[in-house]
């Protein structure tokens, strides 16, 4: 079974850590990583052991441009965009969210890492997400204060707690 994931991040997500973890944790997953700067990818490969595998496809492109123009349908899209000032504003724009939704398979999910946002921006984002994803949303805060949002293209799947725990512990 081919499962496609897209990992969109600035600065190669902490030197490729998300990409490396996805590849090592899910052997059936093909990862399409998008990075704006080729030098960052080169550094991640040379110094942080970003794997050289047929399951990893690296796209040098602007995240919004890539997701708007991709023909690849992903089961899961991780979006963790930031710049020197903080979270990249494109990540919370309606057009970007819509393009991400369009790039998902029918049962796909967009995972957003939201951090350091004002209450006003957070409320606007909640409205955009509710509109674009028809309230098919789950969110939770992590210890760092970031909010992780899971936005489902269609219905939120039924999750059986015991099956989830077994997967987590294996």
pLDDT band at 115 (very low <50, low <70, confident <90, very high): confident
Provide the number of structural domains found in the chain.
Answer: 1
- Residues 129-137, mean pLDDT to the nearest whole number: 92
The CATH number covering residue 33 comes to 3.40.50.150
How far apart are alpha carbons 66 and 69 in whole angstroms?
5
Radius of gyration of the chain, Cα coordinates, nearest whole angstrom: 16
Q: Identify the CA nearest to 108 among candidates 152, 157, 159.
A: 152
Q: Is 63 helix (H, G, I), strand (E, B) or coil?
A: helix
Using one digit for the tens of pLDDT, what is the confidence trace for 67-84?
A: 999 999 999 999 887 766
User: Which pLDDT value is given to residue 45?
Assistant: 83
β partners of residue 105? none
pTM of the model: 0.84
pLDDT band at 12 (very low <50, low <70, confident <90, very high): very low
Quote the pLDDT of residue 124.
84
What is the residue range of 9's domain? Answer: 3-169
Whether residue 1 is predicted with pLDDT greater than 80 in this model: the reply is: no
The pLDDT of 6-34, averaged and rounded, is 74
């Amino acid at each position: 079974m081919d499962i496609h994931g897209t990992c969109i991040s600035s600065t190669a997500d902490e030197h490729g850590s998300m990409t490396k973890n996805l590849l090592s944790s899910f052997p059936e997953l093909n990862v399409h990583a998008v990075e704006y700067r080729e030098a960052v990818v080169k550094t991640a490969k040379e110094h942080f052991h970003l794997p050289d595998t047929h399951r990893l496809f690296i796209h040098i492109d602007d995240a919004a441009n890539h997701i708007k123009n991709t023909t690849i349908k992903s089961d899961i899209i991780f979006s963790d965009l930031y710049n020197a000032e903080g979270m990249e504003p494109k990540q919370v724009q309606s057009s970007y969210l819509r393009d991400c939704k369009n790039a998902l398979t029918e049962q796909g999910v967009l995972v957003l890492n939201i951090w350091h946002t004002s209450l006003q921006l957070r409320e606007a984002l909640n409205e955009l997400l509710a509109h674009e994803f028809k309230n098919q949303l789950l969110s939770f805060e992590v210890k760092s204060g970031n909010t992780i949002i899971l936005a489902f293209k269609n219905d939120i799947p039924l999750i059986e707690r015991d099956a989830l725990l077994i997967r987590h512990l294996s």
